Amino acid sequence: MSTISTTATTSTPSTTATTATSGSSLSGAAAMTATDFLQILVAEFQNQDPTSPSDPTTFATQLVQFANLGQLQNIDQAVQQPASEGLMQAASSFLGRQVDAAGNQVGVQNGKATSIVYAPINADTYTAVVTDASGNQVDQVSLGAVPANSLQTFTWSPASSVADGTYNVTIMNSGQVALSGLIEQGVVQSVALSNGAVALNLGNLTVAGSSVTSVGQQPTN
C-alpha cells in the first residue's frame, strides 16, 4: 500500500480510526491487508507522544473496525461472484437426482437407457417404437394392455448391438396413433453451462435445467 508510511507518520489514532471507517467503501478497503493495518498500528505506537499516550481502547476500536471491513470485503466478493459460478453451484444439486422433462427421447450409455413416462387417456394396447436420429426404426416393444389415465414408465432395454447415443421414442395405440405429452426421465450424471443456461446430462441425453418439471431421489434399483 503506497500510503502506509505517510499515514503512519502523519496520522493520529483518531485520524487512523476515521481512515478505517471511510474504508468501508470497499474499493479502498480492498487495497488494505491485515499486514498493512498492523504496520500502521505499530507505527502509531512508535510515533505517539510519550507525554500524551494514546488511549488503548482506541486501538481496540480500530481492530474491530478492520475486522468489520474484512467481513464487508468477503460479502462484496460473494455478491460479485460470476453468475456462471452461481449457476454451476445451483446445478450441482441435481447430480445423482432423478429428473423429469417434457420430451420423447432416451439416452443410451453403456447399454442402459433412460426412461419415457406416459399416461394414456384411453385404455388400449400400446407399442413403443424406437428410432435413430435419421428416423430408422431400431426397435419395437409391445407394452401390452394399458388402463386409461394411468401413469406408465417405459424403460428400453437396447440390444447389445445398439450404439450409445440418443434415440427417439413414439408410443402408439392399436390404431397406430401416437400419444402426446411424453416425459423424459433419468438420473443426472453431470451438469454443464451452455450459452449461459444449465444443461443436465442424463447419460447421452441432455435436458435444459429450465425444462425440468420435477426432481426426485436417485432410484435404488
What pTM did the predictor assign? 0.61
Rg, Å, the chain Cα set:
32
Please report which helix (H) or strand (E) contains residue 212, including its range: strand 212-216
What are the pLDDT tens digits along the chain (221 aa)? 343 333 333 344 444 433 344 344 444 444 556 666 667 767 776 777 677 666 666 666 666 665 555 555 554 454 445 556 666 677 788 889 999 999 999 999 999 999 999 999 999 999 999 999 999 999 999 999 999 999 999 999 999 999 999 999 999 999 999 999 999 999 999 988 877 788 899 999 999 988 999 988 765 65
Alpha helices in the chain (DSSP H): 4-10, 13-22, 26-29, 34-47, 56-79, 83-91
Q: What does DSSP say about strands 137-146 and 124-131: parallel, antiparallel, or unpaired?
A: antiparallel
Dist CA 214 CA 172 (whole Å): 25
Closest CA to 112 of 154, 158, 153, 170: 158
Closest CA to 115 of 124, 123, 106: 106
CB 142 within 8 A of CB 127: yes
Angle, vertex CA 86, rays to CA 71 and CA 196, nearest 5? 145
